[in-house]
């Protein structure tokens, strides 16, 4: 029996083949002698796609075919044309049939995906289609961005990526490098289909575990899924009144913000990453954590454009702190932030978040998402000191090759020696080595 993943892969393969045929026809036209009569190239003949044999197209092949469609071998500009050609050749689908699809990185399909994400109450910024490009190009991890579609309308999405590391194990996650993930759906039928796709893919890849980074519980009481109380998120409404937002900050933390204001700190939006990266890399090095590559941050800014902002905090012309934030609907999410050694003396981190909150409120954003933290950490306490309440994140895990839940986090005692050594490493060396390690942490 053909699996739903094989069927989705078949459709992706057909689209890729059509794109290749169209590209070849275009290339032939370009190579034609300049003095030859202008004869339009014949449209490529697309043979009907037969159903694949049981094991002829596994999940790994599906990725290879999709990657071909988004690489230079199958130019992106041909995918839309290919889809139109396929529509005339593919067997008709009964009206009302819910189908599993694999996202191809063409602009129209990504736009449809993102339109669904924008409208679906369950979806988050981390369900956006652009994460596929970011994760694949920044880290080299394979992605499967599944969506469920009926009569041309998307009813659910599930972004997945595989991390395969000798140091940190093998996992299939929705979504690594993101605080939220899992299925976002507008119908229970779509949710069930996407769950089935994830489980089939996990059975094929045999990772240690399949992980959903849910914002809300997805499978309560289901014995196939296990939970782990580790992460909490901090979210709070903000208003258009800056004085009201300031007074909502508890007294001691509010005093730190006012101290920074008196010391002349100011914030400005930066179009480049260099000043932000200097502050961020300095901060994570002091924490004993490997830093991401500059390429990753550049890709985030490139892919998400105006929905990704870099804000730096300065005292006169000296860099104090920097934060990269995401914007989604009416929410602002400060995601990567840190300060230089100077920040502690001048309350730079406190001012950084206040400056972002103030600027975001002025632009009409009404929810401040402080992001996730682990209980028992300084970041957890810092956010509580700002008057934010901790909300548990119900991440779920389905074990496959592993017999126990993953424990790859800085609180694990086996990483303490590594953290101590990393703090002592020269910053330049840490910045050079860090990206090779952190890419597999996810």
Question: From first to last of its 442 residues, what are the pLDDT tens digits of the chain?
Answer: 457 787 777 776 666 665 565 555 555 544 444 444 443 333 333 233 333 333 333 444 444 445 544 444 444 334 444 444 444 455 667 889 999 999 988 889 999 999 999 999 999 999 999 999 999 999 999 999 999 999 999 999 999 999 999 888 999 999 999 999 999 999 999 999 999 999 999 999 999 999 999 999 999 999 999 998 889 999 999 999 999 999 999 999 999 999 999 999 999 999 999 999 999 999 999 989 999 999 999 999 999 999 999 999 999 999 999 999 999 999 999 999 999 999 999 999 999 999 999 999 999 999 999 999 998 899 999 999 999 999 999 999 999 999 888 877 766 777 688 788 888 899 999 999 999 999 988 8
Both 211 and 275 in a single domain? no
Q: Which of 92, 117, 150 is the last residue before a domain boundary?
A: 92
Integer-rounded Cα Rg, in Å, for the chain is: 24
Backbone angles phi, psi at 193, to 5 degrees: -65, -40
- Judgement on whether residues 238 and 360 belong to the same structural domain of the protein: yes
Boundary (domain end) residue, out of 92, 121, 138: 92
Distance CA 181, CA 173 (A): 8
User: What does the chain come to in residues?
Assistant: 442
The answer to whether residues 348 and 430 belong to one domain is yes
- Tokens representing 88 are 């005339």
Q: Which of 375, 427, 397 is nearest to 218 (CA)?
A: 397
358's enclosing H/E stretch is helix 348-362
Any domain includes 417: no
Structure-token pair, residue 319: 């860099």
The SS3 assignment for 163 reads strand
On whether both 136 and 107 belong to a single domain, the answer is yes
Please give the tally of structural domains in the chain.
3
Co-location of 10 and 64 in the same domain: yes
**One domain, residues 220 and 242:** no
Are 281 and 205 within one domain?
Answer: no
Q: Concatenated DSSP letters for 36-103?
A: S---PPPPPP-PPPPPPPTTSS-HHHHHHHHHHHHSTTS-GGGHHHHHHHHHHHSPP--TT-EEEEEP
Q: Tell me which residue has tokens 């050594």.
A: 421
Give the Cα separation of 364 and 332 in Å (integer): 10
Minimal CA–CA distance to 318: which of 286, 336, 338, 340?
A: 340
Query: Domain ends where: 92, 119, 137?
Result: 92
| 191 within some domain | yes
CATH at residue 290: 3.40.630.30
The tokens for 170 are 């093998």
Closest CA to 62 of 114, 101, 113, 112: 101
259 and 339: one domain?
A: yes
Residue 226 β-bridge partners = 397
Q: Would you give the distance in Å from CA 147 to the centre of its chain?
A: 16
State the pTM of this model: 0.83
Residues 34, 136 share a domain? no
Domain that holds residue 193: 99-228+395-406
**Residue 394 CA to chain centroid, in angstroms?**
18
414 occurs within a structural domain:
no
- As a 3-state breakdown, the chain gives helix, strand, coil percent values, each rounded to 5, of 45, 20, 35
Are 371 and 325 spatial neighbours (Cβ–Cβ below 8 Å)?
A: no
Q: Is residue 441 part of a domain?
A: no
| 284 and 184 part of one domain | no
Same domain membership, residue 115 and residue 71: no
CA distances to 1, 99, 428 from 94, in Å: 20, 10, 60
Do 216 and 254 fall within a single domain? no
């Amino acid at each position: 029996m053909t699996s739903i993943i094989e069927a989705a892969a078949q459709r992706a393969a057909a689209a890729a083949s059509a794109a290749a045929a169209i590209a070849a026809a275009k290339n032939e036209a370009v190579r034609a002698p300049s003095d030859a009569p202008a004869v339009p190239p014949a449209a490529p003949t697309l043979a009907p796609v037969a159903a694949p044999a049981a094991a002829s197209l596994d999940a790994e092949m599906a990725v290879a075919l999709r990657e071909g469609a988004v690489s230079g071998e199958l130019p992106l500009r041909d995918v839309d044309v290919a889809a139109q050609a396929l529509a005339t050749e593919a067997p008709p689908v009964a009206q009302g049939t819910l189908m599993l699809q694999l996202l191809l990185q063409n602009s129209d399909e990504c736009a449809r995906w993102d339109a669904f994400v924008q409208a679906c109450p369950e979806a988050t910024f981390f369900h956006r289609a652009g994460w596929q490009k970011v994760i694949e190009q920044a880290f080299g991890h394979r992605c499967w961005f599944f969506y469920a579609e009926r009569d041309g309308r998307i009813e659910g999405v599930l972004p997945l990526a595989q991390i395969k590391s000798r140091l940190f194990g093998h996992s299939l996650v929705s979504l690594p490098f993101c605080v939220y993930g899992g299925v976002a759906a507008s119908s229970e039928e779509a949710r069930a289909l996407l769950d089935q796709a994830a489980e089939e893919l996990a059975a094929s890849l045999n990772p240690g575990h399949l992980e959903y980074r849910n914002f809300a519980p997805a499978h309560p009481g289901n014995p196939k899924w296990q939970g782990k109380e580790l992460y909490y998120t901090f979210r709070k409404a903000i208003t258009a009144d800056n004085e009201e937002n300031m007074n909502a900050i508890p007294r001691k933390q509010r005093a730190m913000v006012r101290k920074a204001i008196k010391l002349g700190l100011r914030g400005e939006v930066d179009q480049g990453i260099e000043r932000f990266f200097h502050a961020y890399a300095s901060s994570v090095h002091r924490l004993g954590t490997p830093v991401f590559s500059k390429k990753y941050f550049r890709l985030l800014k490139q892919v998400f454009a105006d929905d990704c902002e870099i804000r730096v905090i300065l005292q006169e012309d000296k860099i104090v702190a920097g934060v990269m934030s995401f914007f989604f609907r009416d929410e602002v999410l400060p995601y990567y932030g840190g300060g230089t050694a100077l920040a502690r003396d001048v309350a730079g981190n406190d001012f950084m978040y206040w400056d972002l909150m103030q600027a975001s409120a002025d632009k009409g954003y009404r929810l401040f998402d402080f992001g996730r933290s682990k209980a028992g950490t300084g970041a957890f306490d810092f956010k509580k000191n700002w008057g934010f309440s901790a909300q548990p994140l119900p991440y779920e895990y389905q074990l496959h090759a592993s017999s126990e839940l993953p424990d790859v986090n800085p609180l694990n005692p086996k990483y303490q020696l590594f953290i101590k050594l990393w703090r002592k490493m020269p910053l330049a060396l840490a910045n050079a080595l860090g990206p090779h390690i952190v890419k597999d942490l996810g």
